[in-house]
Chain A
Amino acid sequence: MKMRKHINKRKATLSFLATALMIIWACVAMLPFVFMFCSSLKPGEEMLRKGLSLSIEPGVSSFSNYNALNTYRDGIYWQWYKSSVIIMVLQTVIGLFFGSMVGYGLAMYNFKGRNLIFTLVLVVMMIPFEILLLPLYRMLIRAKLVDNYFGVILPYLVPPFMIFFFRQYVLGLPKELLEAGRIDGCTDYGVFFRIMVPIMIPAFGAMTILSGMNSWNNLLWPMIVLSTNEKFTIPIGMGTTITPYGNAYDVLMPGAVMAVVPIIIIYLCAQKTFIAGLTAGSVKG
């Protein structure tokens, strides 16, 4: 009886400490965002005057900067938004499909050339993208994909990092599932889509988040491909407010806030699905 009390007490202390640690990091994680939000409510010069200020002042703060997003260059910001969303969705859906397939194939089967292909995956993943720019750009021109969304997602159709992650993930799954599926009369593809994909949902969750984030923040390649200002993504558009001769903070701050908020909302909604998926994934345990 005493012993259990002691353990409970210790557990409570641990729980308190762990939660405290989470709260501290949550504050650190949120700080730049809160700053961004507070600054987005003030005129640009106010931010420079006060530096890193986390205050909202009545009289100075207002949502008028957000209106600037509607008026700045005829509301071009929302077109950037649209582009970003289209590219993110296309890139993530296609990438997940191919990435999971190849990663699964590399992990589940033993076949001739497997190691060669996996090595290629790793090498492609490690090539610094910047050195491929010129040849990729030349290909793009030949394929007539300049200023085209498909050109933007072209180098990310079968993302090596996803292949790598899915491969690692599937390695941890019991191989007997494949045999069991075959005995039930499924083809190997059936096994993949009906049995494995549901089990891999946590991995899909992680990769959706990563791919979405990569696409959402990607600057260099979309910038090279896209020419028309209206087709730009948010990072490129925001980049135009930064110049060596001064930055347009009035647009930058609300633009950056708006770029995050809807994603957070979607993420919070999707999280329920993820959690459901996570429990589904652990059923086999």
Chain B
Amino acid sequence: MQQVSQRRPNRAAAFLTSRKVVPYVFVAPFVIYFLLIYLYPTVSTVMMSFQRIDGPTTSEWIGLKNYQKLFSRNFIQALETSTRYAIWDVIVLTIVPLLFAVLLHSGLVKGSAFFKSLFFIPALTSIIVAGIVFRLAFGTQDTAPVNVLMTALGGQPRQWLMFADSGNFVLIVMTLWRWMGVNIIYYLSGIQAIPNDLYEAAEIDGANPIQKFFKVTLPGIRPVLIYVITITVLGGFAMFTESVALWQQSNPGGIGRTIVGYLYQVGITKANMGMASAVGLTLLALVLVVNLIQLVLMGFFRKEDA
């Protein structure tokens, strides 16, 4: 008896530490979590997208009808809004924070630790209040702060939040304001992991700072860069909170409605869960495809360890 009870943990321990099993133990939490928490809702969502749901007890299979009715004017407009936003979001939020991160790491900036903390504050600020601030700053009147600035610089005052393009501009400014610090931290974590001897070797080869950036820094942070771009593409298409904070209840010309906003309106407000599931799955497909293209372009699948 005693022997067995002594042996068992050993055998279990031996099993758990065997080279074949170890990787699975590491990834087990995700697998369990996926099976327990995400599998049912995901399957259920796919099923709902082929159903009409009226109340807790009534649901009816309607085949592809939800998908056929998908491309309404509102959906297409929301798709345009989200796509326009996502494109600018990726361009601005990948490049600008990278520049800042490199500068902060270069030693050129005095008090870089101070700035790092400061840039991070917007991420903690209530988005509702940020919405009020940006709404007032980009107000419709000629006396609104940004319009005053525009006039002083010799430009024309605008009704910023009333048109799709300028509204998108304000959203991008707000997103940059909010996420800059976070993206800087991502990049810095990547830059800091680059071994110093790589830079030293480049210096010996006579590389100037710009060459060093392209030859050492950029390849060095490629995994992190891929992460940032993927997350930003996703964040761009799934944006919802920022536009709600900015426009609140009003929605001039429908320009404040993003795909997720539309999904929310259809599914939750109008209780049409079937249609909302179809919208959501379409969005998922879109984000997957865009990210796939992006990952191929970034050479994600070229080497095993991208």
Closest chain A residue to B186, Cβ basis? A206
B133 engages A52 (CB within 8 Å): yes
Q: Is the interface of B mostly helix, strand, loop or mixed?
A: helix
Does B5 sit within 8 A of A, measured CB to CB? Answer: no
Given known A-B contacts A124-B38, A135-B45, A187-B17, A105 and B192 have beta carbons under 8 A apart: no
Q: Is the interface of A mostly helix, strand, loop or mixed?
A: helix
Map CB proximity to B onto A109-141 as digits: 1 under 8 Å, 0 otherwise.
Answer: 111001001001111111110111111100100
Does A271 sit within 8 A of B, measured CB to CB? Answer: yes
Map CB proximity to A onto B229-263 as digits: 1 under 8 Å, 0 otherwise.
Answer: 01100100010110000001100000000001001
Residue of B34, B37, B45, B223 touching A120 (CB-CB under 8 A): B34
Least CB distance, A266 to chain B, in whole angstroms: 10
Residue of A120, A161, A203 touching B189 (CB-CB under 8 A): A203
Residue of A26, A163, A256, A271 touching B113 (CB-CB under 8 A): A271
Closest chain B residue to A165, Cβ basis? B227
Spot the interface stretch: A64-72, A74-82, A275-283: A275-283
Does A173 sit within 8 A of B, measured CB to CB? Answer: yes
Does B4 sit within 8 A of A, measured CB to CB? Answer: no
Given known A-B contacts A15-B110, A98-B30, A124-B34, A259 and B126 have beta carbons under 8 A apart: yes
Does B31 sit within 8 A of A, measured CB to CB? Answer: yes
B267 engages A256 (CB within 8 Å): no
The interface centre, meaning the residue of A15, A124, A158, A219 with most chain B CB atoms within 10 A of its CB, is A158
Closest chain B residue to A22, Cβ basis? B115
Q: How far is the CA of A29 from the CA of B115 in the complex (A)?
A: 10
Given known A-B contacts A202-B188, A206-B189, A168 and B248 have beta carbons under 8 A apart: no
B123 engages A256 (CB within 8 Å): no
Q: What B residues does A133 contact at CB under 8 A?
A: 267-268
Residue of B26, B195, B284 touching A284 (CB-CB under 8 A): B195
Q: How far is the CA of A238 from the CA of B145 in the complex (A)?
A: 26
B23 engages A114 (CB within 8 Å): yes
Least CB distance, B211 to chain A, in whole angstroms: 16
Map CB proximity to B onto A196-221 as digits: 1 under 8 Å, 0 otherwise.
Answer: 00000011011001100100110100
Q: How far is the CA of A282 from the CA of B224 in the complex (A)?
A: 16
Given known A-B contacts A15-B108, A256-B125, A25 and B100 have beta carbons under 8 A apart: yes
Q: How many Cβ-Cβ contacts under 8 Å join chain A to chain B? A: 275
Q: What B residues does A31 contact at CB under 8 A?
A: 133
The interface centre, meaning the residue of B108, B263, B304 with most chain A CB atoms within 10 A of its CB, is B108
Map CB proximity to A onto B29-56 as digits: 1 under 8 Å, 0 otherwise.
Answer: 1110110011011101100100000000
Does A222 sit within 8 A of B, measured CB to CB? Answer: no
B107-129 contacts to A (CB < 8 Å) = 108-113, 115-129
Q: How far is the CA of A115 from the CA of B226 in the complex (A)?
A: 17
Q: How far is the CA of A141 from the CA of B192 in the complex (A)?
A: 45
Q: How far is the CA of A219 from the CA of B245 in the complex (A)?
A: 12
Q: What B residues does A206 contact at CB under 8 A?
A: 185-186, 188-189
Q: How far is the CA of A169 from the CA of B182 in the complex (A)?
A: 16
- Range, interface on chain A: 35 or more
Least CB distance, B35 to chain A, in whole angstroms: 10
Q: What A residues does B116 contact at CB under 8 A?
A: 271
Q: How far is the CA of A160 from the CA of B34 in the complex (A)?
A: 10
Does B177 sit within 8 A of A, measured CB to CB? Answer: yes
Given known A-B contacts A29-B119, A169-B190, A206-B189, A15 and B109 have beta carbons under 8 A apart: yes
Q: How far is the CA of A123 from the CA of B144 in the complex (A)?
A: 43
Q: How far is the CA of A14 from the CA of B224 in the complex (A)?
A: 27
Closest chain B residue to A201, Cβ basis? B189
Q: How far is the CA of A74 from the CA of B117 in the complex (A)?
A: 34
Q: How far is the CA of A192 from the CA of B233 in the complex (A)?
A: 31
B234 engages A126 (CB within 8 Å): yes
A98 engages B29 (CB within 8 Å): yes
Q: How far is the CA of A238 from the CA of B129 in the complex (A)?
A: 10
Q: How far is the CA of A239 from the CA of B231 in the complex (A)?
A: 27
Spot the interface stretch: B85-93, B134-142, B162-170: B134-142
Spot the interface stretch: B63-71, B72-80, B152-160, B274-282: B274-282
Does A263 sit within 8 A of B, measured CB to CB? Answer: yes
A243-285 contacts to B (CB < 8 Å) = 244, 252-253, 255-256, 259-260, 263-264, 267-268, 271, 275, 278, 281-282, 284-285
**27 A–B contacts from the bound complex (CB under 8 Å):** A18-B103, A18-B106, A19-B111, A21-B100, A21-B103, A22-B115, A25-B100, A29-B177, A32-B177, A52-B133, A52-B145, A98-B30, A109-B22, A114-B23, A122-B230, A122-B291, A131-B45, A131-B276, A133-B267, A158-B33, A168-B226, A173-B193, A202-B188, A213-B124, A252-B128, A264-B117, A271-B117
A150-170 contacts to B (CB < 8 Å) = 154-155, 157-158, 160-161, 163-165, 168-169
A32 engages B134 (CB within 8 Å): yes
Residue of B29, B106, B240, B267 touching A102 (CB-CB under 8 A): B29
Least CB distance, A191 to chain B, in whole angstroms: 10
B26 engages A105 (CB within 8 Å): yes
Given known A-B contacts A52-B136, A188-B17, A169 and B177 have beta carbons under 8 A apart: no
Residue of A18, A25, A109, A135 touching B119 (CB-CB under 8 A): A25
Given known A-B contacts A52-B136, A52-B145, A188-B17, A264 and B121 have beta carbons under 8 A apart: yes
Q: How far is the CA of A65 from the CA of B83 in the complex (A)?
A: 42
Least CB distance, B144 to chain A, in whole angstroms: 8
Q: How far is the CA of A122 from the CA of B294 in the complex (A)?
A: 14
